[in-house]
A and B are shown apart, each in its own frame.
Chain A
Amino acid sequence: MLAYVLRRLLQSLLVLLGVSVIVFGLLHLTGDPTRLLLPLEAREEDVRQLRALLGLDDPLAVQYVRFLSRAVRGDFGLSFKHQIPALTLILQTLPATLELTAAGLGLALAVAVPAGILSALRRNSLLDAICSVGVLMGQAMPVYWLGLLLIMVFAVWLGWFPAAGRDGLASLVLPATALGAFSMARIARMARSGMLEVLAQDYVRTARAAGVRAFLVTYKYALKNAAIPLVTIVGLEFGILLGGAVITETIFAWPGVGRLAVDAIFSRDYPLVQAIVAMLATIFVVINLVMDLVYTYLDPRIVFVRSKP
């Protein structure tokens, strides 16, 4: 068990190292970072000054090591646009993003898990049919379109919720719905197929044959086992939602990391872009590490399965 935990930790560190290479490379894509960081009409003198400031005349490897040693300490440099450390900006906006993501995920789970399980228990019923149409629609609707439709109907026409901004619970409803819809569809689908799989297991049949009441079979035996795979999905889903927040925040003018990132890209503020990509990737890696360990705790068999080469 300990060996497994250590191995997973090491793996996560390696992944973060890889992330740092890509994040570093982002600035060097065009060959000359100053062309990316400065507007086209920048003076030759400014270009030279920036090169000296960023140490761009050093060999690439030296630059990377310097970048990495600073990044490990959370130092991604000053945001060009805001002139304050990139990390500070992220920490200011991160709560809003986490709030939105958690709300989206919470909403998705709250709707999808019961819906998926009920569909599995009442297979081929009207409810099952409605759910499966919902799942198909949810998986096919891009978040930016759903967001626009929600704004149009519930903010512009009906006036029930604000169309933009972050101001209390009411302003969270529309963005969380738009963001959570896709995950809702996926989780419902997996909860349904997971439950169907468990219901077909021998121990469920045995429990039934032994005269255990149907209610107990469903809620005590089947549900518990169907819930385990959902734990890993939640970790992955959280990462997907963090990415999806980029678009959702842009549509709803939600003051989070996603909107900060989009803004940073268009204003050529690449130190900030680098910091945000690195931060979101780190959050993803940590969450998945934790989820994996929780999963191992819930289902110890997994260590042996995964340990095989």
Chain B
Amino acid sequence: MSRVSFRAAFGITVLLLMGSAALAAPQIAPWDPGRQMLTKRLRPPAWQARGLWEHPLGTDHLGRDILSRIVHGGRISLGVGLSAVTLSCLIGVSLGLLAGFYGGRADALIMRVVDVFLAIPYILLAMGVVFALGPSLLNVILVMAVTRWVQFARVVRADVLSIREREFVSGARARGNRSGRLLLRHVLPNALTPIIVVATLELAFMIIYESALSFLGLGVQPPTPTWGWMLADGRNYLATAWWLATLPGLAIMLSVLAVNLLGDWLRDTLDPRLKV
């Protein structure tokens, strides 16, 4: 038990730190993330030879401060991730509720659509769509949500299938509640646990997803710094500047790790039998 709490505490602490750093980025970042200082190009982190203390994590090929860019990049990664999860949760939960509650044709139709989305390589679909529509912040969020809602729909449907057979639901129905009210007041609140857990684990996924699109050049466009874009930049300097491709990735891994730890803890605490 104590180890679980330690993990959860670690996750929550890291998440709070990164979240507040992202929120307060303009205030706490030591430099403007877009400011190029060509006389200080490709400086390593401060602890290495040639490192400068005014650039604790070094500078990139245009002399931009890595720390400032990572802090600002967090705004995109976490912000886009949260928005995409919220949207995909709304779509997936609604469709999952409908499928599980009404069953029959609605269920069959929705579940086949779910199967279709599971079968399609989502990253290719997302790339194709973003390229066609143009890589704006909104398009990236939309595409991410539209390709991932199935995760919510499956879990919610499975849960609702058993909830609708429970006595309090038939009781509420007998009291004359109409379907809509029944769904929102009685079924949905009882399906919240898996939704919360899936939402957390999906947030971790979305952070990776957003960076992947950025890495491939189809995320939020420069000059806005994103972690994925920084990695793509660093690719050309693997032999000469290790920090360019290493540090932004570390930020991605830490945030994903923290969210996963939080998700695992939520699942174990709220409902250990949950399989998501």
List residues of chain A with CB under 8 Å of any chain B CB.
11, 14-16, 18-19, 21-22, 26, 29-30, 36, 136-137, 139-145, 148-149, 151-152, 156, 239, 242-244, 246-247, 250-251, 261-262, 265-266, 270, 273, 276-277, 280-281, 284-285, 288, 309
- Residue from the list B125, B208, B238, B261 in contact with A22, Cβ < 8 A: B125
The answer to whether A148 touches B124 (Cβ under 8 A) is no
Q: Which B residue sits closest to A240, measured CB to CB?
A: B121
| With A137-B257, A280-B124, A281-B120: A142-B216 Cβ-Cβ less than 8 Å | no
Whether B245 and A26, one on each chain, are in contact in the complex, defined by CB atoms closer than 8 angstroms, is no
Residue ID in chain B nearest A27 by CB atoms: B132
User: What residues of B have a CB within 8 angstroms of the CB of A16 in the complex?
Assistant: 119
Give the interface size class of chain B. 35 or more
Alpha-carbon distance between A276 and B125 when the two chains are bound, in angstroms: 10
* A144 with B132, Cβ < 8 A, contacts A152-B242, A246-B124, A247-B123 known: no
Secondary structure at the B interface, as helix, strand, loop or mixed, is helix
Closest to A35 in B: B132
Bound together, the chains give a CA A49 to CA B119 distance in angstroms of 35
CB-nearest residue of chain A to B228: A144
Whether A144 pairs with B124 at a CB distance below 8 angstroms is: no
Q: Are A142 and B125 in contact (CB under 8 A)?
A: no
> For residues 102 through 161 of chain B, which have their beta carbon under 8 Å from a beta carbon of chain A?
103, 112-113, 115-116, 118-125, 127-129, 131-133
User: Assuming the A-B contacts A242-B121, A250-B216, A262-B127, are A156 and B260 also in contact, with contact meaning beta carbons closer than 8 angstroms in the complex?
Assistant: no
Q: A interface, by DSSP: helix, strand, loop or mixed?
A: helix
For A142, give its contact among B122, B212, B242 (CB under 8 Å): B212
Contact between chains at B125 and A26 (CB < 8 Å):
yes
A208→B272 CA distance, assembly (Å): 27
**Are B119 and A145 touching (Cβ within 8 A)?**
no
Instruction: Please determine whether B212 and A273 come into contact, CB atoms closer than 8 angstroms.
Output: no
22 CB-based A-B contacts, threshold 8 Å: A11-B115, A15-B112, A18-B115, A21-B116, A29-B129, A139-B204, A139-B257, A139-B260, A140-B260, A142-B208, A143-B212, A149-B246, A243-B121, A246-B127, A250-B216, A251-B235, A262-B127, A266-B131, A277-B121, A281-B120, A284-B119, A285-B119
CB-CB nearest in chain B for A286: B119
Q: Which residues of B contact A276 (CB under 8 A)?
A: 124
Contact of A152 among B115, B120, B125, B245 (CB under 8 A): B245
B121 touches which of A11, A139, A246 (Cβ 8 Å)? A246
Judge whether B127 and A265 touch: CB under 8 Å: yes
Is B19 in contact with chain A by the CB < 8 A criterion?
Answer: no
Is B252 part of the contact surface with A, judged by Cβ < 8 Å?
A: yes
